[in-house]
Structure 1
Amino acid sequence: MPGINLIFKKEDVGFLSSTLKEKLLTSNWDSRYFSESYFETKSLFISGNRYEKYPIYIFENDDFLAVIEGFLYNEDAKSIEDELVKLHKIVIDNTKRQEAISKWLTSTDGDFIIVIRDKKTAVTYLLNDVFARLPLYYYLKNNCLIVSREQNRLTELADIKNIDMIGAAQFMMLGYTVGNRTLVEECNYFLPGSLLLVDENKGEVKLERNYVFNFESMVDYTTSYKKHVEQSVALFKKATSKRQYIKNIIGLSGGLDSRAVAAAFDFTRNCQAISRLSVNKKELKDVKLAKKIATKISLPFKVLNTEAFTGEMIYKLALQKMGLNSLENAFNFQYEEKLLQQENDFVYFTGDGGDRIKPHITFSKKLKNYEQLMDSIIEKNSVLPYKYIEDITGVTMDSVRKDIISFLQSFPEQSLEIKYIHFMIYESAFKSVFEGEDRKRFYFWTVTPFYATDFFIKSMSIPENYKKNYKFYKDFLIKMDKRVADIENAAWGFPISSFKLNLFLYSKNVAKMLPFQIKKYIQADVEKLKKTHHTNLLLFLSELINSEDFPNDFNNKGLSYFKDNISEMNTTVIYKIITPIIVSQLLQKKSNLNTRYANIEFI
């Protein structure tokens, strides 16, 4: 992955300069990438790896040096420099820093990581945006700090060989790790709105959490419904415009969120819609609807066809994201590579984040304690009985529950029901979805206006009763462009403006109350069972179980039992189980995905 790296080592300066520095400046993914050194002292080294169009910007004056990765949107070079001067004054003020950074973060629209080194004190400050739009990881042990946008690079520099077993169990259960855990032991996720301080003179490293959204205190009951809609549409159009570039491509599907982005485009600025059609044509309905949407608003449209993905692509994704973007997403590589080959110098728009103006989860009964909250997280998000996970990992359900509950207790909200929403936004959205979006940045810059800071804050201020039954989203989309609102939603088979919506949502709510074993057979979008599992995926699983290179951290008998019952699982669940195991193999240099399975196709 492209991005910033930072290494601080209080002692053993020779090792820093000869080994870590050399690895940082020589390990690049392909011929598009190059390495840059931004700053170096005896104990501190700041560098970057990127391709030509990837945004890393350097600014220096008499007081400080700044390196910014990403964008502050709608800011020209002069105003960015002014913001950096302002930010420098904020971070060096120890008395009012947290409050001032919080205000700055919540009033700044951008996807960024900023490093500032104060020349007078030799203190370096690193902070990310309020959402952690650019995933960042760090290792801190034995007077050595390594910060990188790429886990694979970090694990090599720190010589990490072990998987985080609680993180692995969480991933198998939910599809993502929780809090600052990753799948790799001692490789930590840099939480949103955080500040890292490195004092070279004192040899100290400090990590501060500067801002966490309190979704309980954000709700605005004083603004009228009509005003909420009008203001949201205006903010969304502004956010889209600020992110537009010389050329703008929207990944358009038949869903609601991407069409909202397409409707907000300023068409005078070279815009185009593109859809993907895989070899199994599973997106055919989406493609037809995307074309219909694009035609209706006179947006140029084309389709990119892709073939089956291979073991080499799975291996590549595992190296890039170390499992945090689940490995079934390897099918995206062909699309992203073809797009890069056919287009040049563009920004790629997605509809990620549209969930914020849709109805959030509600509870029929008030949650009484954290145990009930944890039960709800498992019930609503886990699609696999935990017995399989415990057999494979040896991690008990009690250990996983205690770890997640301790994180839930740190949330600022009082209501357990709102803590659930907080958990889903910070963990499922900010973490899981952002890792997938970040995968695209290996090739090109990608954005979504749904995570413009002011639009997000506005979205979370809208009372839940306004969002109920998609009422707010419907009026938001109609106000944006009624033509796209009147085209059917691929997931429903009818438009959001249709009278059928309330009946459909009622039937879904009834289905949610059914027991798990019944529910799994009547879900409209459930994947086909064993008969559609790709032969080579099952072959890989069988060989993995019986391999001499099966990781010692996991139990192959547990995985064998899982395989024997695989007809109960959809393909996504299978990948979630094997993803941490493959990451463990990578750490131990034992994966054969890029050799034995390099050209083997996985659908």
Structure 2
Amino acid sequence: MPGIFGFVNYRGKDIKKDMVKMANRMGSSDLMKTNIWYDMHGRVGLGYTGFHYLIQEEQPVSVNSEIKMLLWGEVVDEEKIRRGLKYTGLSVDNLGKVGLVLMQYLQHGIDIIPKINGSHAVAIWDELNQKLTLIPDRFGQRALYYAEVNGGLAFASEIKGLLALEFVPKSINLESVMEYLAIEQLNYDRTFLQWVNKIPFGCSLMYYRDSALIENRWPVLYRQPEKELSESEYLEEFIRLSGLAVRKRIKYPQTCIGLSGGLDSRLLTALAVKENPEIDTITYGQKGSRDLARGKKVATALNLPHRSLLLKDDYLQKYARVMIDRVDGLFNVLNCHGMILTEVAARYPVISMANGLDQFLWASGSKHSEYKESKNIPETVFKTQNEFIYQVDWKKWFTTKWYEKLSDSVYQNFINEYSRIQADTDDNHIDSFIVQTYANYFGASLPMISHKMEYTIPFYDTEFIEFVLNLPLSMRWNRKLEKLAISHISPLLAEIDGGPIAKPFLWEKIKKKISKLSQRAELKLGLISPTQLRPPSSTYNDMHQLLRKNPYRLWLEKTLLRGNVILGDIFRPEILKQLIEQHTRGELNRTKELGVILTVEMYLKNILGDSSEVYILNNLEKNISPISIENQNFVL
């Protein structure tokens, strides 16, 4: 995918050759431009590969011989920055976006970078002081990974870019494997690899004098407002800032909107149509899915061009293996449906997505009422996040060695991360932690499409998010402000199926009633199991039913039961077979458990290849421990 990469203190054989390897492994193609620079000694290298839709400059950019900058992503306030620099007497007419950001940095220092609007990751090389500074996107949408190996530091926007280097070990972090099986993601700085870490969003990394220093400079925290406004005042500002965020990002040529028909994409579309009344919309899903129906209704109501992308039953076979490599194993393989968007990349090189609003405009307590009654809030938060392989099943499912060595680490790491957050109230503490996990999860999904098309996410606008982070709890509760905004901006969209004030038509009520009576009858006759009564999901229709079809039953068995199964050393011998049988026979819905197990198994096989056969057992014996952030001069 597009991104930035490079070295400091390179001690390999050929820096140019290794940088080309990194670019190629990250997915550089004929549609992308790749720039590579390295110093005359072959010790420092900086590279960029990406599309020309959001950034046009050759990189790295330098306004003097001492400071060089790489930037991957978008900068949406280009002219505002230019005017501000001109006001100080600087000549900046010929500078592009990256050059403008570099000038801002030279004037104001590192803290200006996250304030520059747009999602972007930045690398800055200071030749005079021999210092590298890395800054991922503050809200997790443009990640940066690094490895301190071979006497130096290598960095890249994708883990696979680092694994292209022969001197980066492919040692697995066993605690990360356990963490993913429990909560479906790796939080904070962890990856599946011991020697590769993620720079946590909100942090910077400075590499100086052969040492990496990570600083938590810009934490994403909810705060109590100094002065509360009225509901109407909050609504007015919400509509103004969200409209401004969309207006700045809807201007890219050949941009389309990802329209699921939910509240977030409904608001995005309502705001976008004011700027471009003919903007194209796209919805994907399986036949019968809720998204396809609602997306079409919203587009029709606004007279917008609309295209439906139909996911056929074979889409898992088509996308799963490709996606697991694209996302470096950090996103559930059963959620690979989003890859269908890449099939229209030639027509729509930039997609505008509504993600973020449901994450930031949220109060966790409105979903998890048990928080209010809890005597141990961190423990309760862990239980609500442990939705995959449940803690109560660990001792029964895992081998004795695995359970004894790793069961405590997942919970303890979770509690440590929760304790890092310093919020002003319990509610804001919980919400700050949860929103970071949501943003981390969503950010991990983006590489599945970014090798083919660019993305822009208006509701991650810097000014808009700062406003949301200062909302009182009452304005976030059950996404209250978002629902009010949709009703105010477009009453028509608010009334359509799925809208905040939607009322089903009589025939829809009758159809739903008949369906329920039919299912109850089938249940009594033994024609279906209780697990089959689960309503269709939003994007794809009944994943648990799809996995019961014969081709996928065989796929599950082939991946998890036959031949060299890496996780066979983690689970007790009968467990994997039991999970597959329970699911495929319709006895229990094991979609969540099978999803995380498949993801880990496929990714480990992807990176370890033939060396994976005895990996888990060998390393359990060695009792390898992961690299922790505490070992790397973490500064609060």
For the pair 1:483 / 2:483, whether they are aligned, the reply is no
Say yes or no: does 1:324 pair with 2:333.
no
- Contact 1:170-1:400 within 8 A present in 2 as well: yes
Deviation at 1:425, TM superposition (A): 0.7
Q: 2:246 aligns with which of 240, 243, 255?
A: 240
> Given that residues 163 and 184 in structure 1 are in contact (C-alpha distance below 8 angstroms), is that contact kept between their aligned partners in structure 2?
yes
> Per the alignment, in what secondary structure is the counterpart of residue 361 of structure 1?
helix
Cα distance change of structure 1 residues 162 and 540 upon mapping to structure 2, 3 Å threshold: farther
Which residue is 1:61 aligned to?
63
1:549/1:585 contact within 8 Å kept: no
CA distance in 1, matches of 2:260, 2:129: 51
2:597 is aligned with 1:577: yes
Normalised TM-score (structure 2): 0.78
Q: Report 1:504-515 matches (<5 A).
A: none
Query: 1: distance between equivalents of 2:131 and 2:304?
Result: 50
Aligned equivalent of 1:601: none
Is 1:72 aligned to 2:75, yes or no? Answer: yes
Look up the equivalent residue of 1:65 and give its one-letter code.
Answer: K
Aligned to 2:579: 562
1:370-381 residue pairs with structure 2 within 5 A? Answer: 371-379=376-384, 381=386
Distance 1:581 1:346, change over 3 A: closer
Residue in structure 2 matched with residue 514 of structure 1 by the alignment? none
Alpha carbons of structure 1 residues 568 and 591: separation in structure 2 relative to 1, 3 Å: farther
Task: Kindly state the Cα deviation for residue 122 of structure 1 after the two structures are TM-superposed.
Answer: 2.9
2:364 maps to which residue? 360
Gap runs ≥5 in structure 2: 84-96, 505-529, 613-636
Distance 2:458 2:78 in 1: 16
1:188-199 alignment runs, 5 A limit: 188-199=197-208
Residue 86 of structure 1: aligned partner: 104
| Amino acid paired to 2:103 | V
Relative distance call for 1:319 and 1:419 in structure 2 (3 A) is same
Partner of 1:262: 269
Cα distance, 1:551 vs. partner?
1.9
Contact preservation (8 Å) 1:67, 1:114 = yes
Q: Deviations over 1:536-569 (max 9, x none)?
A: 3322332234444222763462433433443423
Which of residues 557, 581, 591 is equivalent to 1:542?
557
Aligned partner (choices 15, 18, 39) of residue 17 of structure 1 = 15
Partner of 1:503: none
2:257–2:281 contact (8 Å) kept in structure 1: yes
- Quick check: 1:214 aligned with 2:221? yes
- Which AA in structure 1 matches 2:365? I
> What SS class does the counterpart of residue 115 from structure 1 fall into?
strand
Inter-CA distance 383–162: structure 2 relative to 1 (3 Å threshold): same
Residue 121 of structure 1, CA deviation: 2.2
Identity of aligned residues (%): 16
Check the 8 A contact 1:56/1:67 in 2, yes or no.
Answer: no
Residues 350 and 455, structure 2, Cα contact 8 Å, conserved in 1: no
Deviation at 1:454, TM superposition (A): 1.3
> Could you say which residue in structure 1 is the equivalent of 2:632?
none
CA distance in 2, matches of 1:461, 1:237: 18
Change (3 A) 1:301 1:366: closer
Decide which moves more: 401-410 or 143-152: 143-152
Q: Give the secondary-structure state (helix, strand or coil) at the position aligned to 1:332.
A: helix
Find the aligned partners of 1:521 and 1:313 in 2 and give their Cα distance. Answer: 25
Q: Secondary structure at the match of 1:114?
A: strand
CA apart distance, 1:25 = 4.8
Aligned to 2:178: 169
Check whether the contact 1:478–1:485 (CA below 8 A) recurs between aligned residues.
yes
Aligned residue identity for 1:67: L
Q: How does 1:145-544 map to 2 (within 5 A)?
A: 145-157=153-165, 158-199=167-208, 202-215=209-222, 217-219=223-225, 221-244=227-250, 245-265=252-272, 266-268=274-276, 271-278=279-286, 281-283=287-289, 285-307=290-312, 308-311=314-317, 313-333=319-339, 335-341=340-346, 343-362=347-366, 363-364=369-370, 366=372, 371-379=376-384, 381-386=386-391, 388=393, 391-392=397-398, 394-395=402-403, 396-413=406-423, 415-427=425-437, 429-489=438-498, 495-498=499-502, 524=535, 527=542, 533-544=548-559
> Which deviates more from structure 2 when the two are superposed, residues 129-138 or residues 68-77?
68-77
**RMSD of aligned residue pairs (Cα, Å):** 3.1
Offset at residue 273 of structure 1 (A): 0.9
Task: Tell me what 1:600 maps to.
Answer: none
Q: Judge conservation of contact 2:316–2:334 (CA < 8 Å) in 1.
A: no
Q: Is the 8 A contact 1:5 1:146 kept in 2?
A: yes
Does the Cα contact within 8 Å between 2:131 and 2:206 map onto a contact in 1? yes
In structure 2, which of residues 96, 116, 122 is the aligned counterpart of residue 114 of structure 1?
A: 122
Q: Is the 8 A contact 1:25 1:36 kept in 2?
A: no
Q: Using the alignment, how far apart are the partners of 2:445 and 2:494 within structure 1?
A: 27
Cα distance, 1:234–1:287 mapped onto 2, change above 3 Å:
same
Unaligned runs of 5+ in 1: 92-96, 490-494, 501-518, 593-603
Q: Could you tell me which amino acid in structure 2 is paired with residue 131 of structure 1?
A: F
List per-residue Cα deviations over 1:384-431 (Å, max 9, x = no partner).
43355563472443221111111111111254443321221111x211
The TM-score normalised by the length of structure 1 is 0.82
Equivalent pair of 2:259/2:266 in contact (CA under 8 Å): yes
- The answer as to whether partners of 1:367 and 1:417 remain within 8 angstroms in 2 is no
> Which whole-Å CA distance do the structure 1 matches of 2:227 and 2:234 have between them?
10
**Cα gap change, 1:344/1:248 in structure 2, threshold over 3 Å: closer, same or farther?**
closer
CA contact (8 A) 1:56 1:70 kept: no
CA distance in 1, matches of 2:489, 2:355: 14
Cα contact 2:326–2:447 (8 A) shared by 1: no
